[in-house]
Amino acid sequence: MSPLLFLAAALAGGVGAGLRYLVDLGVARLAGTRYPWGVLVINLTGSFALGLVTGGFPAAAFIVGAGLLGGYTTFSTAMLDTVALWRDGSSRAAAFNAAGMMILGILAAVGGLALGAAIAG
């Protein structure tokens, strides 16, 4: 890997982290903070986008996928939110968060891959 490619991915990761913060903040303003909807939206849109890039634009996969989307998506926050919901006595919400994140994330990635493949022809 060239130093320039590494730098581009690192910068894209910083942009992704900033986008994650802004999306989470915006979704929390719209939906409230009782359930971590922002993290769900972030991880689902990130899964879809990664599928899209991988399926349709593989040359951009490292910078966009590992860089931008690596900084944007957040598995660790999703799992921390699951534990927090469980501790707060919201076991149904915790179960939905854990299982829903995985199942919906897979479906989003499959949808992105299909669209990317269709775009690539």
pLDDT digits (tens, 9 = 90+) for 60-90: 999 999 999 999 999 999 999 999 999 999 9
C-alpha to C-alpha distance for 99 and 40, rounded to whole angstroms:
11
Predicted local confidence at residue 46, as pLDDT: 97
pTM of the prediction?
Answer: 0.92
Amino acid at 118: A
pLDDT value at 24 more than 90: yes
Predicted local confidence at residue 114, as pLDDT: 97
Average pLDDT, the chain: 96
74 is in an annotated binding site: no
Instruction: Give the length of the chain.
Output: 121
C-alpha to C-alpha distance for 85 and 115, rounded to whole angstroms:
34
The model's pLDDT over 41-58, given as tens digits with 9 standing for 90+, comes to 999 999 999 999 999 999
Share of the chain above pLDDT 70, in %: 100
70 is in an annotated binding site: yes
Tokens 């899964």 correspond to 47
Q: Half-sphere exposure of residue 68, counting CA atoms within 13 Å on the CB side? A: 13
C-alpha to C-alpha distance for 96 and 29, rounded to whole angstroms:
21
Amino acid at 93: A
Predicted local confidence at residue 32, as pLDDT: 94
Q: Quick count: other Cβ atoms within 10 Å of Cβ 93?
A: 19
